Amino acid sequence: MRALGRWLLLLLLALAGLQLFFVLRIALMHAVMPESTSFQRSQAWQILMRHGQLPWRQEPVALSAIHTRVQRAVLASEDAAFTQHQGIWWQSLESAWEKNAKAKAQAEKRAQRQPDKPVTVKIVGGSTITQQLAKNLFLSGERTLLRKAQEAFITLVLEACLSKQRILEIYLNQVEWGEGVFGIEAAAQHYFRKSADRLSAWESARLAVMLPRPRYFEKLPQSAYLAQRAETIMARMNDVVLP
């Protein structure tokens, strides 16, 4: 029993040390932009394995160098309540859970009617921008309760240590916009051959719509969904409150 107690104590100390590491890393981000994220390093390895080389574009810029049209478009698409929550928007999570449960039930019914046909379920996310940043910075993409609990902790630390403006700035500079394309400046140059402070409202909305599945939409530049959804985001942009 004593040996088990020592192992449990060591485990708790290791867990506490990991949380302290996250807190210190995040506190440093108040002044220093992270050079890379866990998600980026994972993607870099996959790209290298697929192509034998590492095509990579990322050009960090200050939030002031990112046009407010871009900021509004991303918030309208990804997290319209960004300035209202403290990192986790419970109403959005509840809505996503209900939609996913309904989609799963419908998929099970289709599987019963057509057992020989593969059935896919489209999972809807309810994560805020802060939650997305927490996951990308430090965590893997696995869907487990432990990982979600760690994400929640990091999310709360981000909100406690950094301003909303800084969280949005880091997110826009680190988020993926295509294979090997990270950050809004690289995305603006890659897709429109211009800087992020010169993007039009339509261009901003189009980039924002790509965010849930950037590598998928990168291969479908003429997608009707992209165009239609971009129009919807443009209509919502002026209602968004910037931090």
In a domain, 215, yes or no: yes
E strands, 109-212, where? Answer: 176-178, 181-182
Q: What is the pLDDT along the chain (243 residues), one digit of tens a residue?
A: 677 778 888 888 888 888 999 999 999 999 999 988 999 999 989 988 888 888 888 999 999 999 999 999 999 999 999 999 998 876 655 554 555 445 455 545 555 566 565 444 344 456 899 999 999 999 877 778 888 889 999 999 999 999 999 999 999 999 999 999 999 999 999 999 999 999 999 999 999 999 989 999 999 888 899 999 999 999 999 999 999
pLDDT of residue 158: 97
Task: Report the phi/psi class of residue 32: left, alpha or beta, with left for phi > 0 and alpha for psi in -120 to 50.
Answer: beta
Number of domains forming the structure of the chain:
1
Is 173:166 a contact under the CB 8 Å cutoff? no
In a domain, 228, yes or no: yes
pLDDT of residue 62: 96
In a domain, 194, yes or no: yes
In a domain, 138, yes or no: no
Is 155:27 a contact under the CB 8 Å cutoff? no
In a domain, 99, yes or no: no
In a domain, 114, yes or no: no
pLDDT of residue 32: 93
Give the domain extent around 168: 36-85+162-243
Q: How far is CA 162 from CA 104, 146, 193, in A?
A: 37, 24, 32
